[in-house]
Amino acid sequence: MTEMICVGAIAGAFGVQGEVRLKSFCAEPSDIAAYGPLFTEDGSRSFKVKLTRPVAGGLGARLSGVATKEEADALKGVHLYVAKARLPKLPDDEFYHADLIGLSARDPGGVELGRVAAVHNHGAGDILEITGPGLKDSLLVPFTLANVPTVDLSAGLVVVNPPETLD
């Protein structure tokens, strides 16, 4: 099965004629419409996207097969996916969040800390959440060159300089 990447979510209806408010997870929000049809997580539905205008908290869009406010409302919260192959190739020092999740996290000495459980971004940059049996709580590490000097996708690992307060 083709690897699918979440590129956005439907935040609800916008207006009364079937338009939706779309939240884009793309670096350039309007790129969400350029990747071809977008699919629901289970792949049961696909939508062609036509952006209509910027709106508060996202983009106004028309989705193929959605003609009424009720149909748009019913899609609220649906995440939209595209095949990873349709996304642009990234430079060597950039990564899709989906590529980082599940990687083994090791300290510079090679000791395993755990695995990357999630990548968060609350507006100030990406943060890796690392979980593992030896950690009392999740370890949150800013995804910067100083804190994560090595990302080796082929080896399935990241090297993390853990905070000094880690016991």
Q: What is the pLDDT of residue 165?
A: 60
- Asked whether the whole model's pTM tops 0.85, one would answer no
Please say whether the beta carbons of 77 and 48 come within 8 A. no
Model pLDDT for residues 109-125, shown as the tens digit of each residue: 999 999 999 999 877 78
Res 90 pLDDT > 90? no
Which of the four pLDDT bands, split at 50, 70 and 90, describes residue 2? low
Tell me which CATH homologous superfamily contains domain 4-86: RimM (2.40.30.60)
Count of CB atoms situated within 10 Å of the CB of 45: 17
Task: Give backbone dihedrals phi and psi of 20, rounded to 5 degrees, phi first.
Answer: -120, 155
Are 4-86 and 97-159 equal in CATH topology? no
Whether residue 116 contacts residue 100, with contact meaning beta carbons closer than 8 Å, is answered with yes
Q: Regarding the domain delimited by 97-159, which CATH topology (the fold level of the hierarchy) does it fall under?
A: SH3 type barrels. (2.30.30)
pLDDT tens-digit readout, 12-30: 999 889 999 999 988 899 9
Among residues 167, 154, 162, the alpha carbon closest in space to that of 105 is found at 162
| pLDDT mean across residues, the chain | 91
**Domain assignments of the chain as residue spans, ordered by start:** 4-86, 97-159
